[in-house]
Chains A and B, each alone.
Chain A
């Protein structure tokens, strides 16, 4: 019992610490890595409750596939943006959010502790968990007998998800959304986490050789020319294809 308690406390601390990291850290990559910690902690708790197969697919599907997908999208979209917290589109949204979260947590804990340790309900309604058969065999038997309809519907759901992902991630055919549609600008201003060194105003204050600066300026101008030439070629191609 003492070992079980120790496992629970350590895994629970990892789970809660990772969850707090997901909510509080600023960098999306750090959020994703904290999520991995939480998912591993939950997998350990599954093992502690004798759900070995679920622990395995928790690690493989969640940590191995879903978090990697998150990281792919974060890297695809760029990580150099942080949320600014100066202006709330909804007044006092953060305070109300924290209060609501605390309310959910405190209320459910109070209900659980007041309810005592006995679970009401019929025991072993589907099939006994304390069967001698291995974990996967028990789960598979239930999945293909009692839950076979849900299993088939799950297959349809996965097919729909795959088709939806393909349709959504095709190249858009319309023009990009015009900023004129949003005359007030974005609801939240973004601040670059790693600002482009060329944009820094204090660059001019540095003690640089005038010749070197001029050369750098020439290079930049040359780059701009080639880029605009590329753009022109691309738009010409687009015209031809239309």
Chain B
């Protein structure tokens, strides 16, 4: 029986699958909140691959970048949820398809 060795390729494949699921959700869901959660999934996939690269290259830089991605994700969620609340207050029950006033 061949011994399977856990290399960073396994982590990268898992991150790719997580990213693909997040991208699919962003494309097929209409609820703005769930679309935001899918963006979080994609950010987490990228974080996972950064940590995998940090270990395989023996470099702290990858982990520092994950730290910054976390901060940017937090700021993005705060502003995004503020925008969603502002929209919902004026138009209850709006989905992503309803927010098309600036459509070209």
Contact = CB atoms under 8 A, between A and B. Distances in A.
User: Do chains A and B interact in one complex?
Assistant: yes
Contacts, number: 271
Given A69-B77, A96-B27, A119-B53, A89 B60 contact: no
Given A19-B18, A158-B71, A165-B79, A97 B8 contact: no
B41 to A, nearest CB: 5
Contacts of A57: 67, 70
A105 to B, nearest CB: 3
Contact of B14 (A12, A154, A169): A12
B21 A49 contact: no
Interface residues of A, number: 97
A221 interface: no
A74 B73 CA distance: 18
B12 to A, nearest CB: 5
Contact of B64 (A39, A142, A162, A188): A142
Interface in B14-73: 14, 16-25, 27-31, 33-34, 36-38, 40-41, 44, 47-48, 51-61, 63-64, 66-68, 70-73
A242 interface: no
Contacts of B33: 28, 31, 70, 73-74, 77
A98 to B, nearest CB: 6
B78 A162 contact: yes
Contact of A62 (B23, B70, B84): B70
B81 A70 contact: yes
A40 to B, nearest CB: 11
B104 interface: no
A141 B64 CA distance: 10
B50 to A, nearest CB: 9
Instruction: Specify which of B5, B24, B81, B89 lies most central, judged by the most chain A CB atoms within 10 Å of its CB.
Output: B24
A54 B89 CA distance: 36
Contact of A93 (B25, B28, B40, B83): B28
Contacts of B8: 117, 119
B20 A168 contact: no
A175 B75 CA distance: 29
A121 interface: yes
A45 to B, nearest CB: 6
A204 interface: no
Contacts of B47: 42, 54, 58
Nearest to B75: A161
Interface of B: 3-14, 16-25, 27-31, 33-34, 36-38, 40-41, 44, 47-48, 51-61, 63-64, 66-68, 70-79, 81-86, 88-95, 97-98, 100-101
15 contacts: A8-B14, A16-B17, A28-B34, A31-B34, A45-B14, A45-B48, A50-B55, A51-B63, A51-B66, A70-B77, A112-B16, A113-B13, A129-B55, A139-B64, A164-B79
